[in-house]
Chain A
Amino acid sequence: MKILALDTSAKSASAAVVENGEILAESAVNTGLTHSQTLMPMLCGMLDAARLRLADAGLIAVSRGPGSFTGIRIGIGAAKGLAQGLSIPCLGVSTLEGLAFLYQGLAGLVCPVMDARCGQVYTALFSAENGGIARLREDEALSIETLCEILAACDAPVTLVGDGACLAFRALRDRVPGLLLAPPQLRLQRAACAGLAAEAALASGVQPVKPGELLPSYLRLPQAERELNRKMQQHSNQNQNMEDNK
């Protein structure tokens, strides 16, 4: 079955067609956040060049988050619309899991890191082994400090991938022995990897969903939320004091 895969979860946007572990076509741009304008023409251009048709797809796979709020909504919206129109199911794939699939077929620990702003990162931990990708930690939003503790406790070298990999590498290289930074060509999310992750999920028994049931997965930032709420509370107290002093 051919899977049409989409990723617009961060700065880059990409589309791909995968089938039985092979990448048949892929197209990507990384020039800014205009996914709503670039995704569909890019997808059509890719299919034309590969002599494929939308109707060849048996499933739509999409990076469902975490990531950019606007980007995730564009990807999920596009996937729902395409799947509805084609009467085929879809499958949301964790953006972090898709990143780990850059290393499918290799060996070692892979830690995807995406910059969540406010000193937080979206992260998880995977092991590339036996030709597949095994998940060791769930997707979560953490401070770099907490990530440091997790990585320092790993007993094998860890490769950092994702748009927050550089940031994390600079902060942690001296404190986490054997830490590796993914090279640029193996660092950012690709629709093809979301497609390969979807194939692996289907093979392991995960059921695809109807377009109406496909949901984005935003990860909350508990620490940033607390910090912001604390400052807002301080601010409203100050205002209250000013009012009282009048």
Chain B
Amino acid sequence: MLSFISHSPAETEEFAASAVAPKLRKGDVLAFRGGLGAGKTTFTRGLARGLGSDDEVSSPTFALVHEYACDPPLYHFDMYRITGFDDLYSTGFFDYLGNGVLAIEWSENIEGALPDGAITVTLTPDGESRTITLEGGPF
């Protein structure tokens, strides 16, 4: 388990870029837990930078998945609007598994379909601070 207390979005991003991204390998799945404004997208922005991508990172609320060019490639999902298995299948989720690193916002919605060994990333707000806890995989 890896825990970190972040005091700002900049610290969250730096933590993801320097402490988390270097440990990720193709096929890893990060399942975020944490509500609106918890810092999921900020964390993912750090991941993309840490994996070597210059792409702009934003929440894939409407597109459902954003792809960032890096090695391994990073696939950024938002499952907020996924309400059933057919929904999930038609995002192409299963086609992305194993082909890069998956970062999944609102992973609670696809709990039953997360692969074994998924890394849980819990972001708990406390005022301006965030407690970030990673469990599973290399953490």
CB distance from A181 to the nearest CB of B (A): 22
What band does the interface of chain A fall in when counting residues whose beta carbon is under 8 Å from B? Answer: 20 to 34
* Mask of B12-49 contacts with A, CB within 8 angstroms, 1/0: 00000000000000000000000000000000000000
CB closest residue in chain B, given A227: B112
CB distance from A143 to the nearest CB of B (A): 14
B94 is contacted by which of A68, A220, A229, A235 (Cβ under 8 Å)?
A: A68
Distance A7 CA – B1 CA, assembled complex (angstroms): 44
Q: Which residues from chain A contact B112 at a C-beta distance below 8 Å?
A: 118, 224, 227-228, 230-232
What band does the interface of chain B fall in when counting residues whose beta carbon is under 8 Å from A? Answer: 10 to 19
Check A235–B111 contact: CB distance below 8 A: yes
Q: Which residues from chain B contact A117 at a C-beta distance below 8 Å?
A: 94, 97, 113
Q: Which residues from chain A contact B108 at a C-beta distance below 8 Å?
A: 235
* Mask of B89-106 contacts with A, CB within 8 angstroms, 1/0: 111101101010000000
Q: Please list the residues of chain B having a beta carbon within 8 angstroms of any beta carbon in chain A.
A: 83-86, 88-92, 94-95, 97, 99, 108-113
Q: Please list the residues of chain A having a beta carbon within 8 angstroms of any beta carbon in chain B.
A: 32-33, 68-71, 117-118, 218, 220-221, 224-225, 227-232, 235
Query: Nearest 8 A-B pairs (CB), nearest first?
Result: A225-B85, A231-B112, A228-B112, A70-B92, A70-B95, A231-B111, A228-B85, A227-B112
| Contacts A/B (CB < 8 Å), 29 sampled | A33-B95, A33-B99, A68-B92, A68-B95, A69-B89, A69-B95, A70-B95, A117-B94, A117-B97, A117-B113, A118-B85, A118-B113, A218-B89, A220-B86, A224-B112, A225-B84, A225-B86, A227-B112, A228-B84, A228-B85, A228-B88, A228-B110, A228-B112, A228-B113, A229-B84, A229-B85, A231-B112, A232-B83, A235-B111
